[in-house]
A and B are shown apart, each in its own frame.
Chain A
């Protein structure tokens, strides 16, 4: 198997180099046959990488411990799902996964754009193949995931790091990789446009959706990272400005800038050099981020293996990217001239420009601060570090400035805003700002930046609300429909614009969550049984410590009761899990009592089983759930904006349903993530749930325990209840209890439904469903998109029926500015 895998990698390398060579030759000679051959080879790389991925997944599932990578990142006791996710559990596999995604995305992008952007295709193939070749080269000569043990084959693997054996960690890396890899597609099209000199806006249209997809998955990945850090690492926060996190944030910042500035180019033909630069920079940063975290160049406390060889390879590749890309930009500068000049600083394009500068500056800042220890060591010979406070000091004002622009930009007109126009648009939002600001001030500001943030959130929220209301009113006036229909019609008509507003709404909600951090309370307490400690308005009482085991780990669980105002409100069970083979590295199982207002976050920091006393770190995290909720809104908005505008033509009125379905799909994808990790089910509820899960054993009733017809006197039922009590007292989870019942009974028929396995499978299948769903969406979008003709997107609105004319006129001031 290992030999087959290595062979497949080599074959992919050969085929990719063939695709590169043939495409370049075909592009230069304008030879159709050569280009077609190159595209064929390009598709073949995708097929080969898919087979290679299947081989390694097979090795993980069957426990082929002769392969070093498999031995190092999995073991026999791991659940099936984690065996599969071990694929990207280490460096070698994640590089391979990267190439796999890139080859598949590349194939889809080429397949969908083949007809419309014929002249770009050979160069797109060439650029993507070159990137693939670089990564395969690393694998083949240095990090081959298929390398085997020479002498003896170990009987079992070392096991995936327990910290990574977690729902979020199963889907967080692939999401981030999808984001990273999707950013290669715009880069390839941008380079193809530069090389061919076809620098009209056609390439922008080809990549806009790829950028959105990449951006969405990057955001999803970053949010999952935050959620993981919050729920698994147990320090009460979610973002630590760690180099690894920053590596994901950097391309996100530049991609966000690109998504905005691309509109300026489409509308006004400006910022063309800027857009190409942003695309190149975003791609560069995805590579740089990987370099930064993998080569040990930034030494964080995490023992990332220092790997000078890898560092050199990456450095060479990055130098190549920069010289090649910017070389072409400079060469093509004459073709990249702006069609217009900035008319006024009080215009939407100026606001976008400001937004771009700020985003780019923050990317620069994050990069600088992340690299600062290395820089200072190189320059002064003394390693100086900067911590989160430094990042926060800068990023807080930057974030607030961006938030201001989020509110202002939609209110400004393209080209130039008049004074009356300004007064009209700003009256309500500014009023909202003032009122909220005053209210926050009156209630007492603990942290100035949080106070300002609340006020600004109100400002932006009011802006967005105003946009929706005005738009709906105009449409209502034109069509005579009710408000809701008008609203749906409005959003439907200009999905990109209103989808964008919904994204902004999501960002506002996330900022609420960030601002809430200013009001965080934290307390460490050492408690004997019965003793209590207080944080804010919560009182925590230590009840006991229990020790339990399962196949994989030993679990130390603290049992605490939470009281508020003297009333018991929750039972929490923070725990530490000691995985076999990783005993020196217990995982923290945080117990969280979630609420929209604030989370109570309890970590078992230390314990003594004999005396039953425990040390807890208790944190009150206000508003934090709004971050996750904000992301769901953001994902919905992005989905809406991403749907092809011309999908209207497909089914007219059916489209809103389509949009709703898409968003529901996205939300569904997110739901399990919200419910995942260690959710704390209160005792009684768990018990009730179990009574529905388990069949009564009295023999006659054939009903679940909670529905036994024979009543309380049933002998079998009492026995079941006693057993249930025993297991619950041991602090076992639902899955464990069900498993225990099945084991004792000797069959699954004790279960009311085979929930246990089904549920687990669903949970573990989810990453793949997300991935496949993503691919399906991509494919669908792509198909639609290849069907439509290259028409300026605003055309349908401009040439709309008379009914829509008034709407367009008032709503879309920018349409008038179209050239």
Chain B
């Protein structure tokens, strides 16, 4: 009985360690920093190249005619950053709308990755159903 308990414990420890280790390493690749514009602007250099989810408000939105290229500013708490995006934007993506942008900070501003624009849903949006997907 003793040895059996020991065996089980040992198996669990080894499995947990292996999976935990695996999880830790994959986490490093999978994570994105969720951060507001003002936090990034305190020290932009430190955030360059990292995968970010940037939270802020859209301003000065411009679209190059007949393309899907957008250029705009994101601001939060008085700090402003320029951003670029190519692709389809949600309808709620307008000046002053609250957005979360996935992408990386590069030399010329924040480069949003494809499909990386998530406009925060208006407060009325209340999908009150567990399991209901939202995007």
Could you list which residues of chain A lie within 8 angstroms of chain B, going by C-beta atoms?
Answer: 88-91, 93-94, 158, 161, 163-164, 169, 172-173, 176, 180, 221-222, 225-226, 228-229, 233, 235, 238-240, 242, 244-245, 247-248, 289-290, 293, 300-305, 361, 365, 368, 372-373, 376, 382-387, 389-390, 393-394, 524, 526, 576, 582, 584-586, 605-606, 615, 617
The listed residue (A229, A302, A576) touching B121 by CB distance below 8 A is A302
Q: Which residues of B contact A389 (CB under 8 A)?
A: 30
Known A161-B126, A617-B88; contact A387-B32, beta-carbon cutoff 8 A: yes
Most chain A C-beta atoms within 10 Å of own C-beta, residue among B26, B91, B118, B128: B128
When C-beta atoms are compared, the residue in chain B nearest to A173 turns out to be: B129
Say whether, besides A301-B121, A526-B66, A383 and B133 are in contact (CB < 8 Å).
no
**Smallest CB separation, A223 vs chain B (Å):** 10
Selected from B19, B31, B32, B129, the residue in CB contact (under 8 A) with A244 is B129
Any A CB within 8 A of the CB of B53: yes
1/0 per position for B83-104, CB-CB distance to A under 8 A? 0000111011000000010100
Whether A239 touches B133, Cβ cut-off 8 Å, given contacts A161-B124, A386-B32, A615-B88, is yes
Provide the bound-state CA to CA distance between A332 and B60, in Å. Answer: 66
Would you call A161 and B130 a contact (CB within 8 A)? no
**Which B residues are closer than 8 A to A by beta carbons?**
19, 23, 26-27, 29-35, 53, 66-68, 87-89, 91-92, 100, 102, 115, 118, 120-135
Q: Given that A94-B128, A526-B66, A585-B125 are contacting pairs, would A302 and B134 also be in contact in the complex, using a CB cutoff of 8 Å?
A: yes
How far does the Cβ of B113 sit from chain A's closest Cβ, in whole Å? 10
Neighbour of B126 across the interface among A242, A305, A586, CB < 8 A: A305
Select which of A173, A290, A582, A617 is within 8 A of B132 by beta carbon.
A173
**Nearest B-chain residue to A163, judged by Cβ:** B127
Instruction: Tell me if B121 and A385 are in contact (CB < 8 A).
Output: no
Contact of A302 among B30, B91, B115, B127 (CB under 8 A): B127
Could you count the A-B residue pairs with CB atoms below 8 Å apart for me: how many are there? 152
- How far, in whole Å, are A582 and B122 apart by their CA atoms in the complex? 10
Contact call A585/B91, Cβ cutoff below 8 A = yes
Known interface pairs A385-B34, A524-B87; A245-B131 also in contact (CB < 8 Å): yes
Add 20 more A-B contacts to A228-B132, A248-B131, A302-B127 (CB < 8 A): A94-B129, A161-B126, A164-B127, A172-B129, A172-B131, A173-B128, A173-B132, A229-B135, A239-B133, A301-B120, A302-B121, A373-B34, A383-B35, A386-B30, A386-B32, A390-B26, A524-B88, A576-B91, A585-B122, A586-B91
Q: Which residues from chain A contact B128 at a C-beta distance below 8 Å? A: 88-91, 93-94, 173
Residue with the highest number of chain B CB atoms closer than 10 Å, among A91, A582, A584, A586: A584
Q: Give Cα A161 to B88, complex, Å.
A: 23
B1 to chain A, nearest CB (A): 10
- The distance in angstroms between the C-alpha atoms of A300 and B129, with both chains bound, is 14
Q: Are A244 and B88 in contact (CB under 8 A)?
A: no
CA A383 to CA B134, docked complex, whole Å: 21
CA distance A173 to B126 in the complex (A): 13
Q: Which residues of A contact B120 (CB under 8 A)?
A: 301, 303
Q: State whether B127 touches A585 (Cβ < 8 A).
A: no
State in angstroms the CA–CA spacing of A172 and B132 once bound together: 8
A300 B134 Cβ-Cβ under 8 A: yes
Residues of chain B with a CB closer than 8 A to A386's CB: 27, 30-32
A718 and B23 CA atoms in complex are apart in Å by 71
Q: Which residues of A contact B122 (CB under 8 A)?
A: 303, 584-585
The answer for the CA separation of A376 and B68 in the assembled complex, in Å, is 35
Q: Which residues from chain A contact B127 at a C-beta distance below 8 Å?
A: 161, 163-164, 244, 302
What CA separation (Å) do A386 and B27 show in the bound complex? Answer: 8
What are the residues of chain B within 8 A of A93 when measuring CB–CB? 128
> Are B34 and A302 touching (Cβ within 8 A)?
no
Which residue of chain A has the shortest Cβ distance to B26 in the bound complex? Answer: A393
Cα distance, A387 to B30, chains bound together (Å):
7
How close is A279's CB to chain B, nearest CB, in angstroms?
20
Among B19, B91, B102, max chain A CB count under 10 A is at B91
Residues of B within 8 A of A164 (CB): 127, 129
Contact A394:B33 (CB < 8 A) given known A228-B132, A247-B130, A585-B122:
no
A586 to B68, CA, bound (A): 20
Residue of A whose beta carbon sits closest to that of B67? A526
User: Within the complex, what minimum Cβ distance (angstroms) separates B6 from chain A?
Assistant: 15
CA distance A809 to B120 in the complex (A): 63
A305 to chain B, nearest CB (A): 7
What's the Cα separation between A734 and B89 when bound, in Å? 31
Residues of B within 8 A of A172 (CB): 129, 131-132
B123 and A303 within 8 A (CB): yes
Report B-chain residues with C-beta under 8 Å of the C-beta of A304.
Answer: 126
Residues of A with C-beta under 8 A to B66: 526
- Once bound together, how far apart are the Cα atoms of A363 and B33, in whole Å? 24
Inter-chain CA distance A788–B117, complex, in Å, is 59
Q: Are A383 and B130 in contact (CB under 8 A)?
A: no
User: In angstroms, how far is the closest chain A Cβ from the Cβ of B46?
Assistant: 12
Chain B residues whose CB sits within 8 angstroms of the CB of A605 once the complex forms: 88
A387–B66 Cα gap in the complex (Å)? 32
With A244-B134, A302-B121 known as contacts, the answer to whether A526 contacts B68 (CB < 8 A) is yes
Cβ-neighbour of A225 out of B32, B123, B126, B131 (below 8 A): B131
Pairwise interchain contact A242-B133, C-beta atoms closer than 8 A: yes
User: Given the complex of chains A and B, what is the CA–CA distance between A382 and B126 in angstroms?
Assistant: 27
Complex CA gap A720/B123 in Å reads 47
Bound together, the chains give a CA A93 to CA B128 distance in angstroms of: 9
Task: Determine if B131 and A247 form an interchain contact, defined as CB atoms under 8 angstroms apart.
Answer: yes
Q: Write out the residue numbers on chain B whose beta carbons fall within 8 Å of the beta carbon of A586.
A: 91
Chain A residues in 8 Å Cβ range of B35: 383
| Residue in A176, A238, A382, A576 whose CB lies within 8 Å of B33 | A382
A144 to B36, CA, bound (A): 36
Q: Cβ of A176 and Cβ of B118 under 8 Å apart?
A: no
- Once the chains bind, are B121 and A228 in contact (CB under 8 Å)? no
Q: B26 → chain A, closest Cβ, in Å?
A: 6
Complex CA–CA separation, A709 to B23 (angstroms):
74
- Select one of B68, B102, B126, B129 contacting A169, CB under 8 A: B129
Which A residues are in CB contact (< 8 Å) with B26? Answer: 390, 393-394
Least CB separation from B34: chain A residue: A383
Task: Give the distance in Å from the alpha carbon of A305 to the alpha carbon of B125 in the complex.
Answer: 10
- Shortest beta-carbon contacts, A-B, top 10: A390-B30, A248-B131, A229-B133, A383-B34, A173-B129, A605-B88, A225-B131, A247-B130, A384-B31, A176-B131
- A-B contact list, 23 entries, CB within 8 Å: A90-B128, A91-B126, A161-B124, A161-B126, A169-B132, A173-B132, A225-B132, A235-B115, A235-B135, A240-B134, A242-B134, A244-B133, A245-B132, A248-B131, A301-B118, A303-B125, A383-B33, A385-B53, A386-B32, A387-B30, A390-B26, A394-B26, A526-B66
Do the beta carbons of A606 and B132 come within 8 Å of each other?
Answer: no
Measured CB to CB, the closest approach of chain A to B94, in angstroms, equals: 9
Q: How far is the CA of A774 from the CA of B69 in the complex (A)?
A: 51
Q: Determine the distance from Cα of A373 to Cα of B27 in the docked complex, in whole angstroms.
A: 12
Complexed CA–CA distance, A615 and B63 (Å): 14
Q: Distance (Å) between the CB of A151 and the closest chain B CB?
A: 22
Query: Does B133 lie within 8 Å of A233, measured CB to CB?
Result: yes
A244 and B133 alpha carbons, distance in the complex (Å):
6
Question: With A and B bound together, what is the CA distance between A240 and B118 in angstroms?
Answer: 13
Give the distance in Å from the alpha carbon of A81 to the alpha carbon of B47 in the complex.
51
Residues on B with C-beta less than 8 A from A88 are 128-129
Looking across the interface, which residue of chain A has its beta carbon closest to that of B86? A524
A225 contacts which chain B residues (CB < 8 A)? 131-133
Residues of B within 8 A of A582 (CB): 124
Given A387-B32, A389-B30, A586-B91, CB of A248 within 8 Å of CB of B130? yes
- Asked if A385 and B32 make an inter-chain contact with CB atoms under 8 angstroms apart, the answer reads yes
Task: Determine whether the beta carbon of A606 is less than 8 Å from that of B88.
Answer: yes
**Which residues of A lie under 8 Å from residue B132 when comparing CB positions?**
169, 172-173, 225, 228, 244-245
- A350: min CB distance to chain B, Å: 13
**Nearest CB of chain B from residue A148's CB, rounded to whole Å:** 20
Interchain CA distance A158-B123 in the complex, whole Å: 13
A393 B30 Cβ-Cβ under 8 A: yes
| Chain A min CB distance to B66 (Å) | 7
Does A384 contact B34, Cβ atoms closer than 8 Å?
yes
Q: Tell me which residues across on chain B come within 8 A of A394, comparing CB atoms.
A: 23, 26
